[in-house]
A and B are shown apart, each in its own frame.
Chain A
Amino acid sequence: MNRRHILIPAGALLAIVVGFLVWGGLSENAVYYLTPSEAVDQRADQEPGYRFRLGGLVEADWLEGTDDGVRFTVGDGAVSIAVSHAGAVPQLFRPGIGVVVEGAWEGDTFRSDTLLINHDEQYRAVDGEGTYQVPTAGP
């Protein structure tokens, strides 16, 4: 049975190679998003229009509706970046929640077209607060 002697090591080798390829792919994506501090630091090295993901908390002090979406600031405690998002926002969007926005710099504003909620591992029983209403463009 020399087929067995070839097949098993070959299969194991294949699995290991595939594993390394996948692992390498994951490592490239190891930084799923940049924090606001990293985004500001790395801005000088980026091509204009470079697309990346920016992640942080939606800050409570400024959030307004626009014609095509919402404007708000995303911060990490040290740096805040103004984000102008085009499109609908997920149901959980509200001040204080983690978000990941995808887009590029447009002046000093981050122009985003994809907005994901980056929910943390906190699970807190509801305390009876009303649901949050995302503001829309004013009259």
Chain B
Amino acid sequence: MTVAAATLHPRSRVIAATGVAALCLTAAGLYMSVTAPDEESQGEAARLLFVHVPSAITAYIALGTGLVTAIWYLIRRSPASDLLSAAAIEVGVLFTAITLLTGMIWGRFVWGVWWDWGDARMVSTAVLFFFYLGYLALRRSITDPGVRAVRCAVLGIVGFVQVPMVHYSVLWFRTLHQGPSIIRPDLANSTMDAAFVAPLGVALAAFMAALAYLVAVRVRIARLEAAVARSATTSQPVGASVYPPRLGGRDGG
């Protein structure tokens, strides 16, 4: 039936290939991160950079995907873009959490504290994280797919305003968190040795592949859930024929 057809979809091969690519890139990135030289003053703690920075960039991109697909949903009302938006934001929340955790560990080693509420980068990232946790809570609290999609699209669009605020916080404010090393206003003057740029690049590619894989799998799960929900509502026995069957909420399937 629908469920079996979805699992055997040819798209599955592409998804699986993305997963394998993510694993290979992760292995390469890990090897390069471990074999990179120590940093002059931070020592081993600088290796957290190879997880912290890629996960932050990946979170930005995931939330950006959530934004674009949410706008697309409001224009076209296509259920597929709603599912994609939700999946991207859910994975974005995961990467934001990884960013916060690795940042705290790095901070403990380098700054001497796990957290500082006076720092604009730390506080804005935490606000971003809790805002999007709210988005996930909102998704679970509404059952009607059409209503849920509209409200979540609005929230996903409003929330993205925070992403540039997080990124530029270190330039707008005097913070404990350091400024950008590579994506800086004077792009030509990277403050990072090439020995660190290569592992960082491979780690970023690994995180991107992981993002693509996780979002694709999450969308597939959401599709199967929707199919199950639909088959449950369309197979009511007695009296069901009195009402026209609903196939896709307000979108009409």
Measured CB to CB, the residues of A under 8 A from B are: 1, 4, 7-8, 11-12, 15-16, 19, 22-23, 25-26, 29-33, 53, 55, 89-92, 94, 97, 100, 115-127, 129
Contact = CB atoms under 8 A, between A and B. Distances in A.
A4 B147 contact: yes
Interface string B159-193: 10110010001001111101111001000000111
18 contacts: A11-B151, A15-B131, A15-B159, A19-B162, A25-B123, A32-B120, A33-B174, A90-B111, A116-B113, A120-B179, A122-B181, A122-B192, A123-B39, A124-B39, A124-B40, A124-B193, A126-B38, A126-B40
A15 B191 contact: no
Contacts of B165: 23
Interface string B18-60: 0000000000000000000111111100100100000000000
Interface residues of B, number: 48
A11 B155 contact: yes
Interface string B140-155: 0000000100110011
Interface of B: 37-43, 46, 49, 109-113, 116, 118-120, 123-124, 127, 131, 147, 150-151, 154-155, 158-159, 161-162, 165, 169, 172-176, 178-181, 184, 191-193, 195-196
B42 A119 contact: yes
Per DSSP, are chain B's interface residues mostly helix, strand or loop, or mixed? mixed
A35 B120 CA distance: 18
A15 to B, nearest CB: 5
A77 to B, nearest CB: 16
Contacts of B175: 32
